[in-house]
Amino acid sequence: MPNRYPAIEKSTRFVMKKLGYEILEMERASCCPAPGVFRSFNKVDWMVAGARNLCIAEKLDADILTVCNGCFGTLQEINKHLKENEEHRDIVNEKLKLLGDYEFKGTINVRHVAEVLGYEVGPWGLEDIITRKIAARAAVHYGCHFLKPTRLREIESSEGPTIVEELIEVLGVESVRFKEQLTCCGAGGGVKAYDGKASDTIFEEKMKNINDVQPDFILDICPFCHLEYETAQDQLNKNKGCNYDYPVIHLSQLVAYCMGMDREFVGLQYQLMGKEYNFGVEEAKKEEEAA
């Protein structure tokens, strides 16, 4: 995220600050690591690398906030697993000692910005803080690791989630349901790297379904999905002669904007797709009135 989508990071920080949360920096944090590729190679080392990040947060005595489904998937699962499984905890702590003064104690929790906003702050809590609303129709993409597996994540049922839709409703965004809404974007799990064709097929099907409902933009809660939606749309246009131009917006960007963040920081000008989109005419009107 800091690499490719600094705007998402900045939006998130803005939102959190406005809500009254303090963001502490995690010194020496590494890649989560990825819940698909890394884990399938060596589960123990994956747990060790993740646990190290968790230890950094434990030392700061603060919950970890993730903005990405992948990071959430990895860290939340490792955190929960090591809290419950003594045997693995001992194995991991043994290895952590080799990396430095790290010991997993299981004192913190891992959060995702979508559920912090969706449940902890909640739609009404958000409504009190936002300064402007927009009018738009969005295709909401939940992604994979946020809700699944339902029993481990304990957020909401992965069969019919409404957490993001209810949240964005107060911002004036209507979620349009499309066919097979809850499938993967095609990028994660190492699929894109390993079997690009399969990844493209999945994505193509998804874009077709999204295109059928003609949303104003696509809303995601994961920078990896964000990347996929942007670059793969481009690929489809080039290779398959499609004509997609849907802007892709991360939840943090949307919320930051509604909280009053300057448009240039929200980062829409760096969009690969839908460059002209700027949250609709309504807000332009409001700006005029303000001026």
Partner 1 sequence: MAVKEEKMEKSEVESEDSEEPRIGVFCCHCGHNIAGTVDVAQVADYARTLPNVVKAEHYMFMCSKPGVQMLKDSIKELGVNRTVVASCSKNQHGITFAKAIAEEGINKHRHQQVNVREYCSWVHKKEQDKATAKAIRLVEAGVNRSRKLEDVETRRIPTTKAALVIGAGIAGLRASHDLAELGIPVFLVEKNSTIGGHMTQMNKTFPTLECPQCSISPLTNGVANHPLIELYTNAQIKAIGGSMGNFEVDIEIKPRYVKDNCTSCGDCSTNCPVEVPSEWDSGMSMRNAIYKAYPQAIPATFVRDKKNCIECNTCVNICPVQAVDFSMEAETKTVKVGSIVVAAGYSEYDPTEIEPYHYGQEGYEDVITQLKLERMLSPTSLTNSQILRPSDGKIPKSIVMIQCVGSRNEQVGNKYCTGVCCKFAIKNAHILKDMYPDTDVTICYIDVRTPGLNFEEMYQSTQEIGVRFIRGRPSEITRNPLTGELKVIVEDTLTMTPLQLDADMVVLSAAMVPPEGIGPLGSKLKVLRSKEGFLKEFHIKMNPTLSSKGGIFLAGTIQGPKDISESVAHAGSAAALAAAPLVRGYIEKEMLVPTIDYDLCVNCGMCITICAPAAIDTDEDGKPIVNKVACRSCGMCMPSCPTAAIQLINFTDDQLYDEIIAVSGGGAVCE
Q: Is 198 in the site for partner 1 (CB under 8 A)?
A: no
Q: Is 180 in the site for partner 1 (CB under 8 A)?
A: yes
Contacts with 248 (C-beta within 8 Å, 6 or more apart), sequence order = 217, 218, 220, 226, 229, 230, 233, 271, 272, 273, 274
Q: Is 201 in the site for partner 1 (CB under 8 A)?
A: no
Q: Is 91 exposed, middle or buried (0-12, 13-18, 19+ CB in 10 A)?
A: middle
Closest contact distance (angstroms) between CB of 251 and partner 1 is: 21
Closest C-alpha among 222, 282, 277 to residue 1: 222
Q: Are 257 and 266 within 8 A, CB to CB?
A: yes
Closest contact distance (angstroms) between CB of 211 and partner 1 is: 11
Site string for partner 1, 149-178 (x = CB under 8 A): --------x-xx---------------xxx
Q: Is 99 in the site for partner 1 (CB under 8 A)?
A: no
* Contact with partner 1 (CB under 8 A) among 212, 269, 275, 281: 212
Closest contact distance (angstroms) between CB of 56 and partner 1 is: 37
Closest contact distance (angstroms) between CB of 17 and partner 1 is: 37
What's the token pair of residue 13? 């920080």
Residue number with CB closer to partner 1 (161 or 267): 161
Interface ranges with partner 1 (CB under 8 A):
157, 159-160, 176-181, 212-213
